[in-house]
Amino acid sequence: MNERNGRKRILSGIQPTGNAHIGNYLGAIRHWVASQGEYESLFPIVDLHAITVPKDPKQLRAHIRETAGILYAAGIDPEQSTLFIQSHVSAHAELAWILNCFIPMGWMERMTQFKDKAGAARERVSVGLFDYPALMAADILIYDADLVPVGDDQRQHLEMTRDLAQRINSMFGKTLVVPEASIPPVGARIMGLDDPTSKMSKSETGQGHAIDLLDSPDEIRAKIRRAATDSSRVIEFDESRPGVNNLLVIYEAFTERTREDIEAHFDGKGYADLKRELSEVVIEGLRPLQERYREIRKEPGYLDAMLKEGADKVRPIADRTLRRVMDKVGLG
């Protein structure tokens, strides 16, 4: 069950919220691209997760296509990877329901992402937002995924998914593959430019918060120029100075240079130099993606056809797992 033609399977999802940013790219997308030759790779665009908070229907549908376009433009190769829309494979939602019935409330109540997102509106947010991790566990477990490459913010959800798979296996005998998280050593937690103590996030709407993958060079320069720093003038990696540290981590992730090399390079230079050089590194790093994105969007129908093909390909795998689980728990 664990190996397919000698290859392990990876699965990772992204929400179609319409403004994928460099945190998504450095923490997840570029690692999906780099490993797709080595692993069987499945990438759902998780529209069912997106509706856990209110969404304009027209915009959501447009954002699903935009996200797919960005992923292909970033280098996801349809010959090697399968991209699909989560809601096109109904078994995700069906398995999520079954999993719900085996997740203790206490596990869910410990999820910090829900606490952060719900905040003071806890009584008004949807049940779906609370239940988000069960659907995420279903996304992973339904494909018997071995590895889940994600940013650091998904760590706790992955731990819960593992605990859940183990729980079901111990109740019913070997039923589900227990997946492992794969979190990159550099870029797993890119912080907001305006507030480097909080994670760069798609739901933050502040003008200078995130660098979106489709931002123009001028927008990128303006956002980095305004990024929060501090009054020290030394340019070195230091987590106690989150603003400068974050800029350096972004520089490190895009250039793949060593920390020593980067610190030596900026020795004696000022924040204005750091910001100027970083802007150019980010602009150049995103240029190929942006060019390919524009090409892809010129072909009407391409994305819809690819996404349909993707769902058709993975649906039998998902249906098989769902049937296996239903059988074990005594349904039907």
The residues annotated as belonging to the active site are 117, 199, 202
Query: How many other CB atoms sit within 10 Å of the CB of residue 225?
Result: 14
Q: Is 155 in the site for ligand TYM (CB under 6 A)?
A: no
Q: Is 24 in the site for ligand TYM (CB under 6 A)?
A: yes
CA 196 to CA 210: how far, in whole Å? 11
Q: Is 243 in the site for ligand TYM (CB under 6 A)?
A: no
Q: Is 188 in the site for ligand TYM (CB under 6 A)?
A: yes
Q: Is 18 in the site for ligand TYM (CB under 6 A)?
A: no
Q: Output 205 or 231, the one with its CB closest to ligand TYM.
A: 205
Dihedral (CA of 70, 316, 53, 29) sign = negative
Dihedral of CA atoms 195, 268, 258, 22 in degrees, nearest 10, equals 30
Listing from the earlier edge strand, what are the strands of the sheet with 9-11? 81-85, 40-45, 9-11, 147-149, 180-182
Q: Is 242 in the site for ligand TYM (CB under 6 A)?
A: no
Instruction: Write the CB contacts of 93 (distance below 8 Å, at least 6 apart in sequence).
Output: 48, 87, 135, 138
x/- mask, ligand TYM, residues 29-48, rule CB under 6 A, reads: -----------------x--
Q: In this chain, which of 10, 71, 190, 235 binds ligand TYM, going by CB under 6 A? A: 190
Q: How far is the CB of 84 from ligand TYM (least distance, A)?
A: 12
Q: Which residues pair with 275 in a beta bridge?
A: none
CA 183 to CA 180: how far, in whole Å? 10
Q: In this chain, which of 73, 136, 165, 224 binds ligand TYM, going by CB under 6 A? A: 136
Q: Is 153 in the site for ligand TYM (CB under 6 A)?
A: yes
Binding site for ligand TYM (CB under 6 A): 11-15, 23-24, 26-28, 46, 49, 136, 139-140, 148, 150-151, 153-154, 188-190, 199-200
